[in-house]
Structure 1
Amino acid sequence: MFREELHEDGILEIVIDRPPVNAFSIGLLHDLAVRLGRVAGEAEVRTVVLRADGRGFCGGGDVKEVEALPGFEGILGQSSGSMTLSLAVLQCAVPVIAGIHNYCVGVGALVAGSADIIVASRGTRFVMAEIDNGATAGAVQALKLMPEKRVRAAMMTADPVLAEELHALGTIYRLVETAEAVAAEARAVASRVASKSPQAMRRLKTSLGNTTKAHEMMALYRAEMSYTYELNILGEASAGRTAFIEGKRGSYAD
């Protein structure tokens, strides 16, 4: 579901490839988190580029998988997996550059919010669609992408926030013209970062407070998830996911 390549300059490029829309399964969330965690013991890695092939960066969590699993196994796995991956990006021992193209939905936006630097293509849609899927989590990472009032509007309406707006806010570092240009630009930015002293860069990443922020995020995320679990117990969440699966609600990755 993803491939990786370690370039000569110390860039570890991780490319998500899960057609048709790069929906993140529970297994993918887990495997990406584990891979990022291993970077701490890999001195040859100086920076990570996390991007995707295909139609867009991330179509959200795999709703069909969540509904297919028995009991609450699906929502528990998806929610805890999203939190774990977000924290793995935040706590990665080296800077993580996220290359985003076309769309970045749900957990994709959480991952982008945890990355150190974002490169995106014009017109990319960042969507916090949790309200339509019986979920409440996401504000913790979304606040790293945009101001509080903008987060509220984005989460309450589930309307897309365009990359151009986030670039104007300073959240997106590089805005490129086409989706095809994202990979090259992300590697160029990563190369600039990788050219610095690797020991100094790892210490800089730590000094920016990522470990402290991770503890704060975990507590806040657990509080957010409690309301998501309530909605699932009530059956409200399943109804929203079923409407999506049956085609009564369009995909944000269209």
Structure 2
Amino acid sequence: MGVHLHLAAVTEVVIDFPPVNAVPAAGWRELAEALIAAGSDPDTRVVVLAADGRGFCAGVDIKEMQRTPGHEALLAANRGCAEAFAAVYDCPVPVVAAVHGFCLGGGVGLTGNADLVVAAEDATFGLPEVDRGALGAATHLARLVPPQLMRTMVYTCRTVSAQQLHRFGTVLEVVPGARLRAAARAVAEQIAAKDPKVIRRAKESLNGIDPVDVKRSYRFEQGFTFELNLDGAGDLARQRFVEGQ
């Protein structure tokens, strides 16, 4: 249980928080630290970000928030998410996200900041934030879907399939679940075969020409989550979710 790091030329960072990879506050920071360690290793040429279990990521652990008095868990989760998403984006080598099952909330934050995405046939992507009394990761969803669809997904909390994202070109390949890790490694190894100095500079240059500062825009979104909590709407929505389980 936790985040597993397997250092190599193609380094694997694996999310593992059973049963549904709803990541606790400390887990987001653990994930950020693993990604930073992977990128800091001079032998790492590419990172594959994957997950064990039923789905890639169910987002933050809302039950942890509701059983923790005050706003300590909420604040820790929000800061941890920002750190983990930034660690994907700032990783000095390309990050390949290997997504299976559900990719929700924080999972979209990770995937949207990845350099490329390979998905299993059963993968679905969505932001249930509005139903949870929160906002955030529209920044990252906007890197996966067109603007009006992004807005529709935020307002309605509907999901999209890996096949839809493949048609948009934001998922590179859709494969049977049993082949997901192998497919992600195959494209990672293709990149890893290139000159590592050139690839690292390519990653830096591509981040430098991005039209949106994903770290600043995500923190802007999070400010509205804090506002919703101050007026009580956030806590009510989270409690409805917990009681509905």
TM-score class, shorter-chain normalisation, is over 0.9
Give the equivalent residue in structure 2 for 1:56.
Answer: 55
1:167 maps to amino acid = H
8 A contact 1:39–1:93 mirrored in 2: no
**In structure 2, C-alpha distance between the alignment counterparts of 1:217 and 1:125, rounded to whole Å:** 22
Structure 1 residue 38 displacement after superposition: 2.5
Number of aligned positions between the proteins = 244
In the alignment, the residues of structure 2 paired with residue 36 and residue 196 of structure 1 have an alpha-carbon distance, to the nearest angstrom, of 21
SS at 1:88's partner residue? Answer: helix
Letter in 2 for 1:234: D
Asked if 1:245 corresponds to 2:233, the answer is: no
1:186 and 2:184 matched:
yes
1:13, 1:95 → 2: CA distance? 12
Q: Which residue of structure 1 lines up, in the alignment, with residue 4 of structure 2?
A: 3
Match of 1:19 in 2: 18
1:215 CA displacement: 8.3
Structure 1 position 214, deviation (Å)? 10
Q: Does 1:140 align with 2:178?
A: no
Tell me how far apart the structure 1 counterparts of residues 235 and 211 of structure 2 sit (CA, whole Å): 30
Answer whether contact 1:91 1:214 (CA < 8 A) is retained.
no
Partners of 1:19 and 1:13 in 2: how far apart? 18
Q: Give the TM-score taking structure 1 as reference length.
A: 0.92
Alignment check: 8 A CA contact 2:13 2:35 kept: no
Q: Does 1:224 align with 2:221?
A: yes
Given that 1:123 and 1:164 are in contact with CA atoms closer than 8 Å, whether structure 2 keeps it comes out as no
Moved more, 99-108 or 216-225: 216-225
Corresponding residue of 1:199: 197
Cα deviation for residue 40 of structure 1 reads 4.1
Report the counterpart of residue 232 of structure 2 in structure 1: 235
Measure, in 2, the Cα distance between the counterparts of 1:147 and 1:41: 33
Distance 1:139 1:243, change over 3 A: same
Q: Distance in 1 between matches of 2:144 and 2:212?
A: 19
* Distance apart, 1:30 and its partner CA: 0.3
CA contact (8 A) 2:122 2:177 kept: no
The offset of 1:84, in angstroms, is 1.4
Superposed, 1:114-133 pairs within 5 Å as: 114-133=113-132
> Would you say the 8 A contact 1:90–1:214 is kept in 2?
no
Q: CA deviation at 1:55?
A: 0.5
Offset of residue 216 of structure 1? 2.0
Counterpart check, 1:39 vs 2:38:
yes
Q: Is the CA contact (8 Å cut-off) linking 2:5 and 2:34 kept in structure 1?
A: no
Distance 2:76 2:12 in 1: 26
Aligned-pair identity in percent equals 38
The separation in 2 between residues aligned to 1:219 and 1:96, in whole angstroms, is 20
Aligned counterpart, 1:252: none
* Alpha-carbon distance in structure 2 between the residues aligned to 1:242 and 1:218: 28
Structure 1 runs (4+) greater than 6 angstroms displaced: none
Letter in 1 for 2:80: G
Task: State the Cα distance separating 1:209 from its structure 2 match.
Answer: 2.2
- Following the alignment from structure 1 to structure 2, what is the Cα–Cα distance between the partners of residues 237 and 138? 16
Tell me the amino acid that sits aligned with residue 236 of structure 1.
Answer: A
Unaligned 5+ residue runs, structure 1?
A: 249-254
Q: C-alpha displacement at 1:164, in angstroms? A: 0.6
Q: Aligned partners of 2:37, 2:59: CA distance in 1, in Å?
A: 25
Q: Secondary structure at the match of 1:45?
A: coil
The structural deviation recorded for 1:81 is 1.3
Classify 1:80/1:51 alpha carbon distance in 2 versus 1 (closer, same or farther; 3 Å). same
Calculate the TM-score normalised by the size of structure 2.
Answer: 0.95
Unaligned runs of 5+ in 2: none
